[in-house]
A and B are shown apart, each in its own frame.
Chain A
Amino acid sequence: MDTIEIIETSGDFAKQVEKLSHANLNRCWHCLACSGGCPFAEDMDFLPNVIIRMIQFGLKEKVLKSSTIWLCVGCNTCSMECPNAVDMAAIMDSLRQMAILEHYLIAEPGILSFHNSVINSIFRHGRTHKLEIMMKYKIAEKDLFSDFNLGLKMLAKKKLDLLPSKVKDKKGIKSLFNLSGGIS
């Protein structure tokens, strides 16, 4: 594993993360069980437990610019392995939200753009419309051709509906977005 140099630290980063995630970072004894169990660990730039260590060292920028926080899908597999009940998925949720709100460079913009397409779809229909999400995502990513054949196959099998399944009370859905802050 590469050595991580500590150049700049942010003293209250750990506190900030704990406040947002309600997770207790000091419980972690770096046994690596979480990282061993995470199905996405091999594609992450830092292992999940290393992220915790980096937070403790105040390496805010490195953490918030990492790919790990975006590749984490929140599957909670790590929580099942953790002997100390550290809520890793909640920590990752908080880190993503911090990265967005504080305008850090997003290491995996495609993943954020996908989340935003889903949230957009919920905003418009109250439910997710897969065809629209895929199209909008592909257009945003300027990647119209990968999965084109798959899309056709799914249409033929009626797996992708042309029209969305919708909520009637559109105003009710909009009011939830007003209450909660909209799309990042």
Chain B
Amino acid sequence: MTLKDLSYFPGCSLATTAKENNASLKSFLAHFDITVSEIDDWNCCGSSSTHSVNKKLALSLAARNLFLAPPDKPLLIACPGCYLRLSHAKMELNDSKEKAKEYEDHFKKPFHKDIQLLHFFELLVKMNGKGLLKGLGGRLKGLKIAPYYGCMLARPPKMNKQKNHYGLIEKTMAALGGDPVQWPFLSTCCGTFLSVSKPGISEKLVNRIMQGAIKSGAECIVTACAMCHLNLEIRCRPENRLPVFHFSEVLSLALEKNASKNWFKRHLINPEPLMEKRQLILCRAPIKGE
């Protein structure tokens, strides 16, 4: 597989609330000459809400993206939630000839059953395998990081043969000079949509997670999901505040002048004092739209 030319599914969060996640991911990949091209006119993967109340609609929305993606390129999916929804749809269409046929008739196109869906973690593993991440160590020196996966490592029993990359954040951060801590909440769900409809439950959970990170001696949390990032930031009580970075932001910070200052201005918990302390504040000038 060539890594240079990927099609790309950003998903709604990265296109809006988590633009800094999107920009940092692209900036990091651009350093290695990896270009990503968004699927033309992609739509929402369906999100938890759709599969919560209408499974058929969840499949239809995810399927549209699978039919739109160019079949000959790996499709990079930035958000773990979208990844789960799109790979679940791919599995459903592969498991049932009737379903595949129904959507082929609907979209008037063949379904490419082998279309390769690439989780951002998988891409990192492959980049590392090609030796691309060698020699980057150092810039994150001493940064104490609580790696936070939320529910992204969990999946339904039918998909439990797929790799889940447990430990990848720790490994990558350590390779870049960071100091990942051990803590008990790394895979505790952030509460997802309950953050809006049941803020009390979400707040309880988020503060338990944040306190856990503080007790473990971490200076920051690194998340791999934009939804987790948002929930940790908005439901955290003032006394439990700890900067929360997107994984892609920290990767970008590990490179000389790759990160943009503007990403960090969008955070609700200001990470700049920590960045200053750890001499990570040296960023490049923002480019348009960042």
Q: Tell me the A residues contacting B by CB distance below 8 Å.
A: 39-40, 43, 71, 73-77, 79-80, 82, 85-87, 89-90, 93, 96-97, 100, 108, 110-116, 118-119, 122, 126-130, 133-134, 137, 146-147, 150, 153-154, 157-161, 165, 167-169, 172-173, 175-177, 179-182, 184
Question: Which parts of B132-156 form the interface with A (CB within 8 Å)?
Answer: 150-151, 153-156
A126/B15 in contact, CB under 8 A? no
Given contacts A119-B50, A157-B266, are A168 and B41 in contact (CB under 8 A)?
Answer: yes
How many Å from the CB of B22 to the closest CB on chain A?
11
Once the chains are docked, how many angstroms separate the CA of A88 from the CA of B44?
24
Question: Which parts of B18-43 form the interface with A (CB within 8 Å)?
Answer: 19, 41-43
Minimal Cβ-Cβ distance residue in B for A109:
B197
Minimal Cβ-Cβ distance residue in B for A92:
B52
Q: Please name the 8 residue pairs, one residue from A and one from B, whose CB atoms are nearest each other, closest first.
A: A85-B157, A118-B49, A75-B151, A76-B154, A180-B57, A115-B49, A75-B189, A180-B56
A115/B52 in contact, CB under 8 A? yes
Minimal Cβ-Cβ distance residue in A for B189:
A75
Stretch at the interface among B175-183, B198-206, B215-223: B198-206
Q: Tell me the B residues contacting A by CB distance below 8 Å.
A: 12, 15-17, 19, 41-44, 46-57, 59-61, 64, 106, 150-151, 153-158, 160, 187-189, 191-194, 196-199, 201, 205, 230, 234, 265-268
Give the residue of A97, A114, A175, A182 whose beta carbon is less than 8 angstroms from that of B196: A114
Once the chains are docked, how many angstroms separate the CA of A165 from the CA of B38?
14
Q: List 11 A-B contacts (CB under 8 A).
A: A39-B189, A39-B205, A71-B198, A75-B150, A79-B155, A85-B157, A114-B193, A122-B43, A128-B47, A157-B266, A179-B60
How many Å from the CB of A157 to the closest CB on chain B?
5
Q: B198 to chain A: which residues have CB within 8 Å?
A: 43, 71, 108, 110-111
